[in-house]
């Protein structure tokens, strides 16, 4: 005698598929909403740039924005640029005239540096050529600043010496003398230096103080600013420099200091990103920096100096010797990607995968329903077979076994009808078959119990 079994776990694949889809959607949501951490190499040690970018990183975290910065400090801009070049940082402070990483593109100009000389009016120095045989005081004698000054002095046929002995200098020599800010006025008055040279942001407090100290040392209070008037020729030789103008009356309006605009050249500290950093991330970093500039200036005044790189059009920005990152350009041109544009690939993948999982789940459900229906139909067919066999059977023991099988099939059908959705037509046919089989077996048993003849 055979029995049919109906496994209760036939529908396990549908919830499993839905659970998998839910997990994938959760993972995608976490990936899209979690903050992105970028490593930024900052330098130089003691400069304003590290302080500015640390404050920027803290503000990003405080506002819980989608970008986080991991700040790594270096002693000089050479090291920070090399770190970006080696791919060990996503962002870096770079001074292009020192090291220009081949994979670096500008996001923002953190600070512009101008090279110029401030001399007492009575010194008679009006141009760089007039500085021959004289000593220039310098506050911060950074290696990069000395290299820049050496190139500018050499362009005018002079030689810069950083370790010149005392006494008379050669007719083609300019000596560089390290000096403390507090000693500037006294050094000018007693002849230890003839002028002050600066490589700094013209609007910085230090530059304004030096102008005042040079004025104090001048007999008539006049100060002469000496720049680099032939900037185009200098930039042709050193294209990583940039033209800078010290505006008239920057250091005073009565008397005007300088009396008129002073053209010169200089360098810049730039926030650069890897060329392969996504446009959306580069745009976000640039946008947040400029949006937070006023807030950052409360604690780091140098934030006021942050500016965008100069360019005329998009072609100029991307083909310049110091090109701008396309993501930063998106921000400057107000062409940033929307959320849909940024994550459209992910959205399409989730939609396609979700549709595939949904179709698979529907197929599984249909398949399982058909299997369940087929099992009830098989049970119904067996009941009809038992009905036919009972009509021909005369052995009471065999008929009793048939009655038991009918009860078992009826119980299995009832359990499935309670636990699983079943079509009414299929269930109705099964009920009719159960009643017919039981009735036939009952009559056969009654006939088998009567004596023959």
Question: How confident is the model over 137-172, as pLDDT tens digits?
Answer: 999 767 788 999 999 999 999 999 988 777 788 889
Task: Tally the residues of the chain.
Answer: 453
Same domain, 394 and 309: no
- pLDDT at res. 10: 44
Please name the residue ranges forming H helices in 393-423: 396-419
Q: Which of 293, 326, 342 is the last residue of a domain?
A: 342
- pLDDT at res. 204: 92
Q: Is residue 13 part of a domain?
A: no
Q: Output phi, psi for 268, to 5 deg.
A: -160, 155
Same domain, 384 and 396: yes
Same domain, 334 and 356: no
Neighbours of 351 (CB within 10 A): 10
Same domain, 320 and 356: no
Q: Which of 287, 310, 342 is the last residue of a domain?
A: 342
- Gap between the Cα atoms of 346 and 344, Å rounded: 5
Which of 319, 330, 322 has the alpha carbon at shortest distance from 280?
A: 330
DSSP 3-state assignment of 147? helix
Residues 6+ apart with CB under 8 A from 42: 49, 50, 53, 54, 71, 72, 73, 74, 80, 92, 93
Q: Which residues of the chain have pLDDT under 70?
A: 1-33, 141, 315-318, 335-374, 419-422, 449-453
- pLDDT at res. 9: 46
Q: Is residue 443 part of a domain?
A: yes
Q: Is residue 232 part of a domain?
A: yes
**DSSP β-ladder status, 67-73 and 36-42:** parallel
Same domain, 360 and 434: yes
Q: Is residue 87 part of a domain?
A: no
- pLDDT at res. 225: 96
Count the domains in the chain: 2
Please give the residue range of the domain that contains residue 382: 346-448
Which of 160, 146, 218 has the alpha carbon at shortest distance from 184?
A: 218
Q: Is residue 7 part of a domain?
A: no
Cα dihedral 277, 279, 282, 287 in deg (nearest 10): -170
Same domain, 288 and 406: no
Neighbours of 309 (CB within 10 A): 20
Q: Is residue 59 part of a domain?
A: no
Same domain, 292 and 375: no
Residue 112 maps to which CATH number?
A: 3.40.190.10
- What are 381-406's pLDDT values in tens digits? 888 888 888 788 888 888 888 888 88
Same domain, 270 and 366: no
Residues 6+ apart with CB under 8 A from 324: 105, 106, 107, 309, 311, 317, 318, 332
């Amino acid at each position: 005698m055979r029995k049919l079994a109906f496994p209760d776990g036939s529908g396990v694949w549908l919830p499993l598929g839905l659970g998998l889809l839910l997990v994938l959607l959760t993972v995608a949501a976490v990936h899209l909403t979690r903050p992105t951490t970028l490593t930024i190499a900052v330098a130089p040690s003691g400069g304003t740039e590290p302080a500015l970018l640390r404050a920027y990183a803290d503000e990003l975290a405080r506002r819980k924005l989608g970008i986080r910065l991991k700040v790594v400090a270096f002693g000089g801009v050479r090291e920070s640029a090399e770190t970006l070049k080696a791919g060990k940082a996503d962002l870096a402070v770079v001074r292009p005239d020192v090291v220009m990483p081949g994979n670096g593109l500008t996001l923002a100009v953190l600070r512009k540096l101008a090279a110029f000389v401030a001399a007492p009016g009575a010194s008679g120095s009006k141009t760089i050529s007039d500085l021959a045989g004289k000593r220039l005081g310098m506050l911060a004698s950074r290696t990069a600043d000395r290299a820049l000054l050496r190139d500018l002095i050499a362009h005018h046929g002079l030689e810069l010496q950083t370790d010149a002995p005392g006494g008379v200098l050669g007719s083609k020599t300019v000596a560089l003398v390290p000096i403390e800010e507090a000693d500037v006025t006294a050094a000018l008055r007693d002849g230890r230096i003839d002028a002050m040279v600066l490589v700094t942001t013209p609007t910085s407090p230090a530059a304004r103080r030096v102008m005042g100290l040079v004025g104090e040392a001048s007999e008539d209070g006049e100060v002469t600013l000496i720049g680099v008037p032939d900037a185009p020729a200098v930039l042709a030789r050193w294209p990583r420099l940039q033209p800078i103008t010290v505006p008239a009356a920057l250091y005073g309006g009565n008397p005007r200091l300088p009396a008129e605009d002073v053209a010169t050249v200089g360098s810049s500290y730039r926030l650069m990103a890897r060329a392969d950093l996504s446009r959306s991330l580069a745009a976000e970093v640039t946008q947040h920096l400029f949006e937070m500039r006023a807030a950052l200036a409360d604690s780091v005044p140098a934030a006021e100096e942050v500016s965008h790189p100069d360019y005329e059009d998009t072609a100029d920005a991307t083909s310049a010797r110091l090109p701008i990152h396309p993501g930063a350009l998106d921000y400057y041109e107000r062409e940033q990607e929307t959320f849909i544009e940024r994550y459209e690939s992910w959205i399409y993948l989730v939609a396609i995968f979700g549709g595939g999982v949904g179709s698979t789940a529907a197929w599984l459900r249909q398949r399982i329903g058909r299997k369940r229906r087929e099992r009830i139909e098989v049970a119904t067919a067996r009941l009809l077979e038992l009905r036919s066999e009972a009509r021909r059977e005369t052995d009471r023991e065999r008929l009793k076994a048939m009655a038991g099988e009918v009860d078992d099939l009826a119980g299995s059908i009832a359990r499935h009808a309670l636990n699983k959705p079943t079509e009414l037509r299929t269930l109705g046919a099964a009920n009719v078959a159960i009643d017919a089989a039981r009735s036939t077996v009952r009559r056969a048993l009654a006939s088998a119990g009567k004596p023959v003849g």
